């Protein structure tokens, strides 16, 4: 047995690569709120990374990070609304 490891996907370095990755990772419309929350939290992380690696698009990446952060907060509020004891 050769023990060859599969190459770990590299994180996106440009805004376009980030968009492409996140389109592929986007959950289906019927996914649970927790799945959507994880997706939006991941999106924030990806776009914040792009701010550092793609300086020509840092303003756009900041916009997208903030947009995804707002979506995540809205989903968190919906989850809390479904579980008032939490």
Give me the pLDDT at residue 16, please.
98
Give me the pLDDT at residue 23, please.
98
pTM: 0.85
As a whole number of angstroms, the distance between CA 63 and CA 52 comes to 14
35 contacts 27 by C-beta, under 8 angstroms: yes
Give me the pLDDT at residue 40, please.
99
Domain boundary assignment for the chain: 15-82
In whole angstroms, how far apart are CA 52 and each of 17, 25, 45? 14, 22, 11
Phi, psi at residue 43, to the nearest 5°?
-60, -45
Give me the pLDDT at residue 2, please.
59
As a whole number of angstroms, the distance between CA 54 and CA 30 comes to 33
């Amino acid at each position: 047995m050769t023990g060859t490891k599969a190459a770990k996907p590299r994180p996106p370095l440009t805004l376009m690569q980030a968009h492409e990755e996140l389109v592929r990772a986007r959950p289906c419309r019927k996914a649970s709120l927790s799945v959507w929350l994880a997706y939006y939290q991941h999106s924030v992380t990806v776009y914040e990374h792009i701010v550092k690696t793609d300086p020509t698009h840092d303003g756009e990446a900041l916009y997208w990070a903030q947009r995804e952060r707002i979506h995540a907060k809205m989903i968190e509020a919906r989850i809390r609304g479904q579980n008032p004891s939490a």
